[in-house]
A and B are shown apart, each in its own frame.
Chain A
Amino acid sequence: MSILSNFQVIADNFTYFMIGRWPAGPLGGVGLTLYLAVVSCILSFFGGLILGLLSVSRHRWISWPSMLFINTVRGVPLLMVIFWMYFLLPALFGKVPESQTVIMALTLFTSAYMSQIVRAGIEGIGTGQMEAAVSTGLKHWQAMYYIILPQGLRNMIPSFVNQFVSLIKDTSLAFIVGVSELTHVGTQINNRTMAFPTEIFFFIAVVYFILCFAFTSLSRWLEQRLAWRKAI
């Protein structure tokens, strides 16, 4: 099989695929992919929590604008959000590094999706608990903070992990604004070597698969454990 021998191109560029030119130069490849995904995930956890809480607010002047924002972001492609950021951030803040533009776009986009997880988690706890908490003298926000959220968040964990998997896949779009994460590194090496596109993109797909499948399995395991804990 000549195809097998062609995978030499992967072996030759392996460290470049994994970490780019780091430590001599900037981080790239798989390392940058994970960096983008982890930072955006942490930021959009808080973004999603805030948006989710705003969207279940009892005051319409809070819940409606936040729902409008959430549904607008969910209604457009991520690519569109990236272009908006790429175009607006420099106009507002001067020069912004591309990787930060991408983190901003991923955070904004994923926060909207995470807020729906938070919303579903809060609604899943049921109104009975909220009524009971309020009738013991807690304020609405105290009941939310001490009673509803701690239970809700535990149920949300598997969905959060799934969202992280989506984020890992979505970081590939950073390619478009020239951030040298895994997909960008792949196209670079493809442009340089010319002859092995099938091997290179198959290899990249396998790397993404290993990362994503690990977390997908984690999320399924967590889900089973939660179901088991509820059963007892």
Chain B
Amino acid sequence: MLSYQFDWSIILSGKYFEWLLSGLKVTLQLSLAGIILSFLLGLIVAVMRMSHFSPIRWAAWAFLEFTRNTPLLVQIFFWYFGSYKFLPTAVNDWLNAQSFEFAAALIALTIYTSAFIAEDIRSGVLSIPKEQMEAARSAGFSYLRSMQYIILPQAVRITVPPLVNQFLNLAKNSSLAMTIGVMELTYQARQVESYTFKGFEAFTAATVVYLAISIIITFLVHQYNERVLKLHKAA
């Protein structure tokens, strides 16, 4: 350690800087695509979880419990190594023609995150007074339409901060995609380390980028809470 020579220049410009930058791009791509898809899936699961038809409710419950109580890494391996046995051949061929590593990581991250988002949405919905649903139903809306027009628009507004936090979790969890060869930020930091033996610099760079992402997101959530939710409550 004492004989270690720091050389920050290698990660601040040139080839290795490009590597880290491309890693950041993949991390952001995975996280952005993941948050959109898992929001949609989470919304569906949350509505199913609150359904009055018990088999649908139980199916959603089983999905949530199983997804949240198994490691993300195992889910990534399951989709990456195992999906060819149960996905239709056409789908697999199509995925292979794209980047299969990216697709498998995206599927696993989406499913994993959707379970947490579904619970966030559900607690958002539960915080809306029950009378609103009763009023909507007595005004002639069906259950799904009451959800769509009355309950969810209000619940989603409350759910924005936890949702943005889930985006942060996604950005951090996407680091696991390196295990199946997706060249995201952590993967590239590792690459730079093994090419240059400048692990200290490479990991510092990646750590700083992750911290920057989480500081920005924490700041945005804070602003949203201060401005939007407080105004909403005051009104």
Chain B contact-residue range equals 35 or more
Are A172 and B200 in touch, CB under 8 angstroms?
A: no
Q: Which of B82, B83, B173 is packed against the most chain A CB atoms within 10 Å?
A: B82
Task: Looking at the assembled complex, report how far the CB atom of B179 sits from the nearest CB atom of chain A, in whole angstroms.
Answer: 7
A83 to B172, CA, bound (A): 14
Taking CB atoms and an 8 Å cut-off, the chain A residues in 49-71 that contact chain B are none
Are B71 and A87 in touch, CB under 8 angstroms?
A: no
- Which of B69, B74, B200, B203 interacts with A201 by CB under 8 Å? B74
B interface SS class: helix
Closest to A90 in B: B1
- Knowing A87-B200, A216-B69 are in contact, say whether A208-B186 is a contact too (CB < 8 A): no
Are B73 and A183 in touch, CB under 8 angstroms?
A: yes
Binds B, one of A72-80, A95-103, A113-121: A72-80
Chain A contact-residue range equals 35 or more
Contacts of A74 in B (CB 8 A): 214
Contacts of B178 in A (CB 8 A): 79
Are B82 and A79 in touch, CB under 8 angstroms?
A: no
Q: Which of B1, B66, B81, B173 is packed against the most chain A CB atoms within 10 Å?
A: B81
- Knowing A83-B186, A212-B70 are in contact, say whether A202-B210 is a contact too (CB < 8 A): no
- Knowing A77-B186, A213-B65 are in contact, say whether A170-B71 is a contact too (CB < 8 A): yes
Contacts of B72 in A (CB 8 A): 169
Kindly count the residue-residue contacts between A and B in the assembled complex, taking CB atoms under 8 Å apart.
108
Task: Looking at the assembled complex, report how far the CB atom of B69 sits from the nearest CB atom of chain A, in whole angstroms.
Answer: 4
Closest to A215 in B: B69
Closest to B172 in A: A77
B151 within 8 Å of A (CB atoms): no
Are A202 and B211 in touch, CB under 8 angstroms?
A: no
A168 to B71, CA, bound (A): 8
Chain B proximity mask over A197-228: 1 for CB below 8 Å, otherwise 0: 11111101100110011001000000000000
B162 within 8 Å of A (CB atoms): no
- Knowing A75-B211, A173-B73 are in contact, say whether A209-B203 is a contact too (CB < 8 A): no
Are B78 and A213 in touch, CB under 8 angstroms?
A: no
Contacts of B193 in A (CB 8 A): 87
A131 to B65, CA, bound (A): 43
Are B172 and A76 in touch, CB under 8 angstroms?
A: yes
- Which of A80, A186, A198, A209 interacts with B210 by CB under 8 Å? A80
Are B176 and A76 in touch, CB under 8 angstroms?
A: no
A205 to B74, CA, bound (A): 6
A22 within 8 Å of B (CB atoms): no
Contacts of A159 in B (CB 8 A): none
Contacts of A79 in B (CB 8 A): 175-176, 178, 186
Give A residues with C-beta under 8 Å from B.
3, 72, 74-80, 83-84, 87, 91-92, 165, 168-170, 172-173, 175-176, 183, 186-187, 190, 197-202, 204-205, 208-209, 212-213, 216
